[in-house]
Structure 1
Amino acid sequence: MKNFFLLIAVFIFASCQKEKKEFQPIPVEESVIATNEHEGKKLMETHCYLCHSPNAVENEGRVAPPMIAIKARYIDKEGYTKEEFIAAVALFVENPTEEKAVMYGALKKHGLMPKQAFPEGSVEKIADFMFDYQIEEPTWFKEHWEGHGNENWTQSGKPYKVTEKEKTYADIGLEYALGTKKLLGKNLMESIQQKGTLEALAFCNHQAIPLTDSMATKYNATIKRVSDKNRNPNNKANAEELKYIAQFKKDLATKQEIKPVVIEKGDKIQFYYPIETNTMCLQCHGKPEQIQPEVRTKTLQLYPKDLAIGYSENEVRGIWSITFKK
């Protein structure tokens, strides 16, 4: 049962049963600096960095390997070609299984990545970026990787640098939403790993809103998580929010690219972005038959009017509703 609760989002990609090849690094003269923004980079930061952050420390609070570990294993060590790497990533993410995994240490430490839905073509764009360009490395990674028999390792790919652009309101809102999501997600995952789902419920009850408010103070904004099927009465969506929840549900169901909603209201900006479910969420928000009886009993003790159940993977459970000044 403990292993079930460790189903945390771990990006462990598929391996084709093929002969290992010697990796040929990109020649120095080809390592030019990128001048145009690569869509895969932004997609990676949006969809992957919650669990695969390059900033988390090596052994404390990390819930998944950093993205550079995936690149180092598949590209720099195994010698996958670009086409093979993109195919392996897409195959695994489509339906993660232990049989497809090759990063056995990460699988044992963190558990298997939950199945999730991504906008059409986004996984391929992320893999394309990872292959062609150098990505962020934690300060500890080189020593860690070389300590596992990979001496004199240097990351492959071209340096990545683009001209700084002025942030749009969508960029700002997304920064606030993902920053808050990262803080909540990290604390929730640690609670599940260390104490189990029942204690994670207590964490949500006591800490979710205060932590959200702390990020609102940091960003000088109003930050809410709201839903059409709320658990906490304070998270009930209003009429405008319900409209955009319905729109995001439609977009996700049809695998459309999810784009933030930005509305100018006088001197303020109203920003909306979806909150999506994965396997971990279903421990408390799944269908009644999926939820452990003791978990459901505890939930109703904390939230007698709870509506936030009945979900499957990859559904919109609510939205970020964020207001900030222009």
Structure 2
Amino acid sequence: MKRLRVVLLALSSLILFYACSYSCDDCVGNDQDRRCKTEAEELTSLAGEIMSSSLDNSLEKTGLIGSLEKCDLNKYSFLSDLENQFNCEIQRLSDRSRNLKSSLKTQSDYKVWEEFKEAYKSKPEIDTLLVNKKGELVYYKTISIDNKSCLNCHGNEKNMTRQFKERLSDLYPQDKAKNYLMNDLRGVWKVTFKNQQNK
């Protein structure tokens, strides 16, 4: 719980810092790219830390089955606060998603995913910033299975209890996010800055 409070304090500090600073609207060219990339890096790192802390706390209090919903980014209220503050959309996507909301959707998603999969073999931490068809800046970053606790829900199905699999099926009937190994590429963060034209 103490760790979670520290993370939430960091979230508040981040929002305050950028609220008192300038947004991507104030940047042009390379400055805009650098600014948005920095924001996206910090947003995804912070979101991941909050999710990890929340999951750890839930595992202690409610156990594995009671913590299944903690892996769904859309369940966290802080997400909308960040998106509103930074005028962006924050997503976690994968080719083997736990629910449809987390599936790869656009042509860019698939293109980046294939490039990341190939590059991941030699470099596990990869990110990129590109411009979509609307002229919006879009940031992608790899997500790895870098914590053994991730394998409780995303590892070998043979190691999962019947009760756990039944609950998993109830929550995520179209789940494909199983049978990963440690250090596998799990998915990508995607941050889309709304109406941030790359001038």
TM-score range, shorter chain: 0.7 to 0.9
Q: TM-score by structure 2 length?
A: 0.72
Deviations 1:169-210 (A, max 9, x none): 322221121121122221111111222111111344596354
Partner residue, 1:190? 57
Cα contact 2:58–2:67 (8 A) shared by 1: yes
> Which is strand-richer, 1 or 2?
2
Q: Structure 1's 61 and 248: CA in aligned 2 closer, same or farther, altered over 3 A?
A: farther
**Which residue of the other structure, out of 68, 71, 75, is the alignment partner of 1:201?**
68
**Which residue of the other structure, out of 240, 243, 248, is the alignment partner of 2:108?**
240
Cα contact 2:73–2:91 (8 A) shared by 1: no
Q: TM-score by structure 1 length?
A: 0.46
Q: Does 1:308 align with 2:186?
A: no
Residue 240 (structure 1) shift: 2.0
Q: Which amino acid aligns with 1:319?
A: V
Secondary structure at the aligned position of 2:139 is classed as: strand
Partner residue, 1:103? none
Q: Which amino acid aligns with 1:190?
A: N
Q: Which amino acid aligns with 1:309?
A: K
* CA RMSD in angstroms, aligned pairs only: 2.4
Q: Structure 1's 293 and 214: CA in aligned 2 closer, same or farther, altered over 3 A?
A: farther
> Which is helix-richer, 1 or 2?
2
| 1:71-220 mapped onto 2 (5 Å cutoff) | 167-204=34-71, 208=75, 210-220=77-87
Greater radius of gyration (CA): 1
Cα contact 2:153–2:178 (8 A) shared by 1: yes
Q: Which amino acid aligns with 2:116?
A: F
Aligned-partner Cα distance in 2 for 1:190–1:208: 15
Question: Matched residues, percent identical?
Answer: 23
Structure 1 stretches lacking a partner, 5+ long: 1-59, 64-165
Q: Which amino acid aligns with 2:189?
A: W
Aligned-partner Cα distance in 2 for 1:305–1:198: 18
Aligned-partner Cα distance in 1 for 2:136–2:73: 30
Residue 263 (structure 1) shift: 0.5
**Which residue of the other structure, out of 78, 83, 93, is the alignment partner of 1:226?**
93
Higher RCO (CA 8 Å, separation ≥ 6 residues): 2
Aligned-partner Cα distance in 2 for 1:243–1:304: 27
Q: Which amino acid aligns with 2:152?
A: Q
Q: Structure 1's 227 and 206: CA in aligned 2 closer, same or farther, altered over 3 A?
A: closer
Partner residue, 1:281? 150
Aligned-partner Cα distance in 1 for 2:91–2:73: 16
Moved more, 172-181 or 199-208: 199-208
Cα contact 1:300–1:306 (8 A) shared by 2: yes
Partner residue, 1:61? 2
Aligned-partner Cα distance in 2 for 1:257–1:229: 18
Secondary structure at the aligned position of 2:90 is classed as: strand
Aligned-partner Cα distance in 2 for 1:206–1:199: 16
Structure 2 stretches lacking a partner, 5+ long: 5-30
Partner residue, 2:164? 295
Aligned-partner Cα distance in 1 for 2:73–2:40: 25
Q: Structure 1's 275 and 181: CA in aligned 2 closer, same or farther, altered over 3 A?
A: same
Q: Structure 1's 190 and 177: CA in aligned 2 closer, same or farther, altered over 3 A?
A: same
Aligned-partner Cα distance in 1 for 2:168–2:53: 21
Residue 280 (structure 1) shift: 1.1
Matched positions, count: 164
Q: Structure 1's 210 and 243: CA in aligned 2 closer, same or farther, altered over 3 A?
A: farther
